[in-house]
Chain A
Amino acid sequence: QLQLQESGPGLVKPSETLSLTCAVSGASISRSGYYWGWIRQPPGKGLEWIGNIYYSGSTNYNPSLKSRVTISVDRSKNQFSLKVNSVTAADTAMYHCARRANYGSGDYFDYWGQGTLVTVSS
């Protein structure tokens, strides 16, 4: 059974860099055909796609965050990471990692981590 688990600091100071890791168990992150993504949800609000990385290493980012976001993969540890720099209070959110898989017509987020709450505050 595929499982994803986010980890990282729960509190980040304004202007600093938010760094999170998603550990994947039950499947290889290098297996062809899958994307690995990040989605966030501010308290009491809806879902926002941040970006994803394909098994090959290619990335796609939300233009609203693109200049501040980096997603990378560590194949040796079977995990992928998110960095968001120059954070502000608007980056306070629950951050979820998820797998995106092909279902014949489109690639969908089928497995999600429970999420980790990141608060940006001094």
Chain B
Amino acid sequence: DIQLTQSPSFLSASVGDRVTITCRASQGISTYLAWYQQKPGKAPKFLIYTASTLQSGVPSRFSGSGSGTEFTLTISSLQPEDFASYYCQQVNSYPLTFGGGTKVDIK
């Protein structure tokens, strides 16, 4: 199985901050990676696919990069609605796996 390790697990930040979350894969997955945002009690929201392509309707302050084993999700200027948990997911091979999540909280 491909393990995805996210860091940090928890991040405290202020509105306007630049935030970066890292996702490391235990083996190369090319760019078969997605990022999801989840707010409490809600379903995950599909943000980014193929590591760097924004899903339609996702604000441009979100960006993704990386390939192989190291990936990043960056929020260029954190907005109040961005406080949530973020998960990476690989679709390179079965079983599909998710990272452990990063909770972005208000400082």
Contact = CB atoms under 8 A, between A and B. Distances in A.
Interface in A94-122: 96, 98, 103-115
A112 B43 CA distance: 6
B50 A103 contact: yes
A26 interface: no
B50 A46 contact: no
Interface string A87-99: 0000000001010
A49 B97 contact: yes
A60 interface: yes
A73 B68 CA distance: 35
B50 A49 contact: no
Interface of A: 46-49, 60-64, 96, 98, 103-115
Interface of B: 1, 30-32, 34, 36, 42-46, 49-50, 53, 55, 87, 89, 91-92, 94-101
Contacts of B31: 105-106
Contacts of B50: 103-106
A49 B36 CA distance: 14
Nearest to B97: A49
A60 B44 CA distance: 21
A48 B101 CA distance: 11
A47 B46 contact: no
Given A105-B31, A115-B43, A46 B98 contact: yes
Contact of B43 (A46, A64, A96, A106): A96
B65 to A, nearest CB: 15
